[in-house]
Amino acid sequence: MRKLFGTDGIRGIAGEAPLDARTIYAVGLALSHQVNGTYHHPRILLGMDTRESSEWIAALISAGLAEGGAIVENAGVITTPAIAYLARRHGFAAGVVISASHNPWQDNGIKVFGSDGYKLPDETELRIEEEIFRRLESVESPQSGHAPAVNPKYRADYEESLRSAVPGLHLDGMHVVLDCANGAASAIAPELFSGLGGTIHVTHATPDGRNINASCGALHPEVVAAETKTLGADLGVTFDGDADRALFADAHGRVVNGDAVMLLAARDMKQRGMLDNLTVVATTMSNMGLEAALRRDGIRMLRAPVGDKYVLERMRQENAALGGEQSGHILFPHLATTGDGLLTALVVLDAVCRSGHPLHELVADLRVYPQVIVNVRVREKKPLDKIATVADTIHQAEVELAENGRVVVRYSGTEALARVMIEAESEEVMRRHADRIAAAIRAELGA
């Protein structure tokens, strides 16, 4: 069982364990040592988001990496998927991103990609963890450190890769709203999309170190939806802090989530002969309505555990060309090794432009079953099936809903939360079961 790595790297409050100075330095040492067995003086690429803590964390991990014999290069403020792409493209032993994605500015994190551009397997993360804990028994953090100077060629290279993914895309005649979440997309999206023509209205692209994800971005898609409707724009796009996911808004100001994006993309790819095995891999959180809509088009939907790395694992097992999460992580393995919000936005815009239809028409038949997610803050993550009152309450909901709904209760992989998701044909039934399960968890484990 991993103790530091969650579903998306190491994450916590900046300055507190596991993101205290000693642990960060030890992470650098351990990672350098783990890749040293394969590479002599391994090259490691570093990138970060816009949080005020990102620079000092980058300096500390760079010091640990260098002490372990690695050569560190710095791409500066850049998206998470950019580091995945660049690590593979330029033959780095690993890529490291300092980011806490959608979390508030006080948090930060460390994400690691292998030389192949994929997130590390669980067993590799476990080996790194074990070495981190060994080193913490004796290591002292350096008094100071600094990250290498930023090399701008990496951002330029990534931007060019995005443009080449959608050759011929022009937004002439379109009005698009971009919400950059005051995060990593702020450094790339305005220039990238402005170069495609059309009218581009950019919001939340002035990061100050503390406003990342603050009442904006993919955590608050209603913001870009309202802006899109107010401006009379054709489409809105909103990213999270490190831009590895994207959500959308249609011209009527309605939010278009990852389920709808997968439906749109699956149909487009099937029409173009690109949907291998006529299979889409979603997660346990995707709505039953998506499964039904895909089935009508002769496309099967499989489910994986939450976390884009687990979706990708299932995709590779099934040779699927499309997968993703309701939250906006969409995976196009023929184009990228990880979820990429900027790439997703370009692919969706390309499909909309080629179809000649507005976004809302392309997903109009997606019937969404009422769904609610209740988050319960917990003091510890004990196995829920070992807590009798919680297990019994979940079982009662599953029996009552049977074939007419779904129950998914799980711990967040990045926060101290239990997530209760209920789908049902009736909103009253949905909320009743969600509240009962949440109350049982709160009574036993509530923080």
Report which secondary-structure segment, H or E, holds 13.
strand 9-13
Q: Report the length, in residues, of the chain.
A: 447
Judge whether 135 and 23 are in contact, CB under 8 Å. Answer: no
What is the helix (H) or strand (E) element at residue 302, kind and residue range? strand 300-304
Q: What is the helix (H) or strand (E) element at residue 27, kind and residue range?
A: helix 21-36
The one catalytic residue in 32, 62, 101, 161 is: 101
Question: How many angstroms from the chain centroid is the CA of residue 249?
Answer: 18
Strands 71-77 and 94-98: unpaired
**Start-to-end C-alpha separation, the chain:** 22
277: left (phi over 0), alpha (psi -120 to 50) or beta: left
Q: What is the DSSP letter of 319?
A: T
Amino acid identity of residue 37, one-letter, is: G
Q: What Å distances lie between residue 196 and 162, 169, 224, CA to CA?
A: 12, 7, 20
SS3 content of the chain, % helix, strand, coil (to 5): 40, 20, 35
Which residues, at least 6 apart from 126, have a Cβ–Cβ distance to it below 8 Å?
A: 2, 5
Look up residue 222 and give its amino acid. Answer: E
For every residue of 75-141, DSSP letters joined together read: EEE--HHHHHHHHHHTT-SEEEEE--TTS-TTEEEEEEEETTSSBPPHHHHHHHHHHHHHHHTT---
Distance (Å, whole) CA 106 – CA 101 = 12
Q: Which residue has the tokens 């990429």?
A: 340
b (16+ CB within 10 A) / e for 359-378 = beebbeebeebbbbebebeb
Give the residue carrying structure tokens 């049982």.
Answer: 440
Residue 227 · residue 177 · CB < 8 Å: yes
Strand partners, 330: 324
User: Is-catalytic flag, 141?
Assistant: no
Rounded Cα–Cα distance for residues 29 and 38 (Å)? 15
Positions marked catalytic: 101
